[in-house]
């Protein structure tokens, strides 16, 4: 119940944020040329421009741009930001996207594509850990870039650190939850009660096997892992559990976490720490979802929209309403993304070591000087 309520609250805030961003793109007026263009006209022109782009030869340009600039993030290399920034973005963006699609939306996507899907079988067990590690590597690179390297083209704002902290909490709580559940005797008991119907001797044999092979920490004394008990436990596990449980070792980070916490696993389990970690994990995920439209992470959605708009707008030929919307999206991306355009004088000053960000907002000078429009602040 609490899970559902918090999910709907997060989705509501996320939806409101998305509508707000969309409205701001279609309403904000950048430059004198856009002052007399109404919001309603820009909405109708945007819809018409997108439809004409999708159902025209431009769709192939759009697909190419989506693959190169969104999926492969090659725009970062084109903009001259270097391999380091590209690798950092690919680790965070790629790892988190795959986690979201494969794990976060598993009931919608993964289970539909794979009939025998369970989150505790391979390759999903291994891939979940792999993608989580990629995100942590990307976050580590982001922290190093902002604290040690301190490049001049990097902006450090509170929202930057919020995004890093939120993603870090999501990843670490996920790994800790996975490791604690591997050790948890109460989790094991719930699984047996739900999926296996065993007599006392069979129950002891299965428990012996899971203590030995899966690392469950039992409060019952295991006098010996006798060959007969292990054989019976393996047989019962193959019948009742093998279809939905691969070896825990494939979850290499979760398994390492389980081994480290094993000496105190019983105390943690009795104190309800695995349940607490579950709350921390899903609440941090929901908080990140609600915060996404208001953070730098919004470029996960903004970039594809920007590519679609760029494909639809041919300056000098396109509807002025769509040109005005394009400038509004670019300005929003520059303000909140912290990345200047190639021709922006602010970018050039920052690369020379001049702290120009405090002097004016990124892209305002670029729009005024290169597009010859006035800026309405």
**pLDDT tens digits along 278-336:** 999 999 999 999 998 888 778 777 777 777 777 667 655 667 887 888 877 877 776 66
Alpha-carbon dihedral sign for residues 199, 200, 202, 207 = positive
Q: How far is CA 237 from CA 120, 189, 207, 244, 247, in A?
A: 14, 14, 9, 10, 12
**pLDDT tens digits along 148-200:** 876 655 666 777 788 899 999 999 999 999 999 999 999 988 888 877 777 77
pLDDT for position 368? 45
pLDDT for position 222? 58
pLDDT for position 239? 81
Domain boundaries along the sequence of the chain: 1-56+319-377, 181-287
**What gap in Å lies between CA 287 and CA 169, rounded to an integer?**
11
Q: Are residues 251 and 128 in contact, defined by beta-carbon separation less than 8 angstroms?
A: yes
First to last CA, the chain: 46
pLDDT for position 237? 82
pLDDT for position 295? 83
Residues of the chain with pLDDT under 70: 31-33, 80, 150-156, 221-225, 311-312, 314-318, 334-377
pLDDT for position 321? 81
**What gap in Å lies between CA 196 and CA 238, rounded to an integer?**
11
């Amino acid at each position: 119940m609490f899970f559902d309520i918090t999910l709907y609250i997060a989705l509501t805030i996320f939806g409101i944020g998305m509508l707000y961003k969309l409205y701001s793109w279609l309403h904000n007026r950048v430059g004198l040329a856009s002052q007399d263009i109404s919001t309603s006209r820009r909405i109708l022109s945007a819809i018409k421009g997108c439809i004409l782009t999708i159902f025209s030869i431009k769709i192939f340009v759009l697909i190419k741009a989506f693959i190169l600039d969104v999926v492969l993030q090659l725009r970062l290399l084109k903009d001259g930001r270097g391999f380091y920034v590209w690798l950092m973005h690919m680790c965070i963006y790629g790892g988190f996207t795959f986690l979201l699609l494969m794990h976060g939306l598993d009931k919608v996507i993964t289970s539909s594509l794979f009939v025998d899907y369970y989150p505790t079988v391979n390759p999903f067990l291994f891939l979940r850990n792999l993608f989580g590690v990629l995100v942590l590597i990307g976050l580590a690179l982001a922290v190093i870039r902002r604290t040690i390297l301190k490049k001049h083209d990097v902006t450090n704002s509170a929202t930057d650190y919020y995004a890093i902290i939120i993603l870090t909490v999501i990843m670490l709580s996920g790994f800790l939850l996975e490791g604690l559940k591997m050790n948890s005797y109460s989790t094991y008991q719930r699984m047996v009660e739900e999926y296996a119907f065993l007599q006392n001797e069979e129950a002891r044999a299965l428990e012996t096997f899971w203590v030995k092979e899966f690392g469950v920490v039992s409060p019952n004394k295991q006098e010996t892992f006798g060959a007969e008990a292990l054989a019976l436990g393996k047989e019962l596990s193959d019948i009742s559990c093998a279809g939905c449980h691969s070896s825990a070792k494939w979850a290499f980070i979760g398994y390492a976490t389980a081994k480290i916490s094993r000496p105190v696993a019983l105390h943690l389990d009795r104190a309800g720490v695995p349940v607490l970690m579950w709350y921390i994990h899903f609440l941090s995920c929901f908080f990140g979802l609600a915060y996404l439209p208001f953070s730098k992470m919004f470029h996960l959605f903004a970039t594809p929209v920007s590519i679609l708009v760029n494909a639809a707008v041919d300056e000098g030929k396109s509807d002025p309403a769509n040109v005005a919307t394009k400038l509004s999206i670019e300005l929003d991306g520059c303000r909140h993304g912290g990345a200047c355009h190639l021709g922006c004088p602010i970018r050039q000053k920052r690369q020379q070591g001049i702290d120009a960000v405090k002097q004016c907002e990124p892209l305002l000078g670029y729009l005024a000087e290169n597009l010859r429009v006035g800026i309405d602040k």
